[in-house]
Copies of this chain bind each other. A is one copy, B any other.
Amino acid sequence: MSEVAGKMSIQEGAKYLECPMMGRGILLGGVPGVKPGEVLVLGGGVVGTNAAKVAAGLGARVIIMDIDLDRLRYLDDVMPANVRTVHSNAHTIRRYVQEADLVIGAVLIPGALCPVLIHESDLKLMKPGAVIVDVGIDQGGCVATARPTTHSDPTYIVDGVVHYCVTNMPGAVGRTSTFALTNATLPYALTLANLGYKRAARQDPGIARGVNIQSGRITNRAVAETFGMEYQPLEL
Contact check, A180 vs B59: say whether CB atoms are below 8 A apart.
no
Contacts of A76 in B (CB 8 A): 31-32
Q: With A and B bound together, what is the CA distance between A21 and B152 in angstroms? A: 10
Flag whether A72 is at the interface (Cβ < 8 A). Answer: yes
Q: With A and B bound together, what is the CA distance between A162 and B31 in angstroms? A: 27
Flag whether A229 is at the interface (Cβ < 8 A). Answer: no
Interface size on A, residues (CB 8 A): 69
Known interface pairs A53-B59, A54-B57, A86-B34. Does A18 touch B172 (Cβ–Cβ under 8 Å)?
Answer: yes
Count of chain copies: 6
Q: With A and B bound together, what is the CA distance between A11 and B17 in angstroms? A: 11
Binding site for B on A (CB under 8 A): 3-4, 7-8, 11-12, 14-15, 17-21, 24-36, 46, 49-50, 53-54, 56-59, 61, 63, 67, 69, 72-73, 75-78, 80-82, 84-87, 89, 151-152, 171-177, 179-180, 182-184, 186-187
